Amino acid sequence: MVDWQTVSSLATAGGTLVLAVATFSAVRSSNRSARVAEETLLTGLRPLLTPSLAVDPPHKVLWSDRHVARIDGGRAIAEQDGDVIYLAIGLRNAGSGIALLHGWHPWPDEIFGNGPPPPVDQFRRLTIDLYVPAGGTGYWESALRDPDDPVHAEFGKLIAEREPFRIDLLYGNQQGGQRTISRFIVLPASEDGWYAQTGRHWNVDGPAPR
């Protein structure tokens, strides 16, 4: 004799299992689509800074003490006036999102070293917000004003002797995410000029690019 109660229970259990599998597959597909959409959004916001090109337009750089300099495409600024050392780098944003600069770290030594960048909390904060538009140009600027700063004397010597140095820049997208560290090496270009080249890039908030 057929036990219809057992058959009914097995049929119900089978239907529940099929529904669970279908639900699991739908959730996985939904999560995968959400991740793809999120990655697409982040890609559209991701900046990547490189030195500006020689054909790029010049920018006027103004420091808080009203010191002014012109930075041409493909160039950098490294000059000392009294106790103040003024630094700037012409930038181009090769990424697809606006770059918001957060801070910088000076390296007077290990110019061509391949070591990692310092921790984020060791970067010097900028006193103003500097933005570089996607596909456009801009600049980074700051200054060493305190003669007691451990790197002040070293940078003064490097500039006077026309020796290269490097600067690590910390920046992210316009929402403060996707923080990136780019290393720039500043080298003498002529009797009184300087230019910069990119060394490496590190992702702070995501997987490394290599």
The pLDDT of residue 107 is above 60: yes
- pLDDT over 90 at 86, yes or no: yes
CA distance 128 to 141: 10
Both 83 and 41 in a single domain?
Answer: no
- How many structural domains compose the chain? 2
pLDDT in tens, 48-60: 999 999 999 999 9
Indicate whether 111 pLDDT > 50. yes
CATH number at residue 58: 2.60.40
Residue type, 166: R
Same domain membership, residue 74 and residue 14: no
pTM of the entire predicted model: 0.79
Considering the domain architecture, whether residues 6 and 95 belong to the same structural domain is answered as no
Same domain, 117 and 38: no
Residues 64 and 81 occupy one common structural domain: yes
Same domain, 101 and 199: yes
Q: Which two tokens stand for residue 189?
A: 């270009």
The answer on 26 and 6 residing in a single domain is: yes
Residue 32 sits at φ, ψ, to 5 deg, of -65, -40
Average pLDDT in the chain: 86
Q: What is the pLDDT of residue 34?
A: 44
* Shared-domain flag, residues 11 and 54: no
Question: Which pLDDT band holds residue 28 (cuts at 50, 70, 90)?
Answer: low
Strands of 72-163 (E only): list them: 76-81, 84-93, 99-107, 124-132, 137-144
**Domain-embedded: residue 209:** no
C-beta atoms surrounding 131 within 10 Å: 14
- C-alpha 95/C-alpha 113 separation (Å) is 25
Structural domain for 145, as ranges: 47-203
Tokens 């959730």 found at = 27
Q: Among 15-29, 127-141, 155-169, which is the least confidently predicted range?
A: 15-29
